[in-house]
Amino acid sequence: MTEHKDFDKSKINDKELLKYAYNYSEESLLHKISKFGAHIGLELLYKVAQLWCVLQKPEVPAKDKALIMGALGYLITPLDFLPDLTPVLGYSDDLVAITFALLKVQGYIDDEVKAEAKALLAKVFDGNAVAKL
């Protein structure tokens, strides 16, 4: 992957990320999950919840948090490359963004993150379905 010549990695830090924190609330994530959860599928939502939980960890570097915020923002935003209302293909672009972010931060996904992700999903979905994840 090539970077744009004007892109400056040093500008990605916790202070800069805090400027966008208001856009990334648990409430907005749960709203998207509850509204489109049946279309997205519980497996993908579990991955989304894991990313959300990793984002909350203070030890995660700012560049990884920026990547997670980009992937989650892409899912939460109503604008998509492939509209989410398109059957089958609608969430494929979201899946790619989520999967890419997961691969980059997989070292932070431990048993605690998995448990927190399930607890987050249990706020929206039946506990029995979440327990099977």
How far is residue 130's CA from residue 8's CA, in Å, rounded to a whole number? 40
3-state secondary structure of 3: coil
Residue 84, token pair as written in the block: 């989410």
Say if residues 24 and 73 touch (Cβ distance below 8 Å): yes
Residue 77's region, left for phi above 0, alpha for psi from -120 to 50, else beta, is beta
Say if residues 109 and 56 touch (Cβ distance below 8 Å): no
More confident residue, 7 or 76: 76
How far is residue 49's CA from residue 80's CA, in Å, rounded to a whole number? 20
pLDDT digit string, tens, across residues 67-107: 998 888 877 765 544 454 444 445 666 788 899 999 999 99
Predicted confidence (pLDDT) at residue 2 exceeds the cutoff of 60: no
pTM check: above 0.75: no
pLDDT digit string, tens, across residues 33-54: 777 676 678 888 899 999 999 9
Average pLDDT of the chain to the nearest whole number: 77
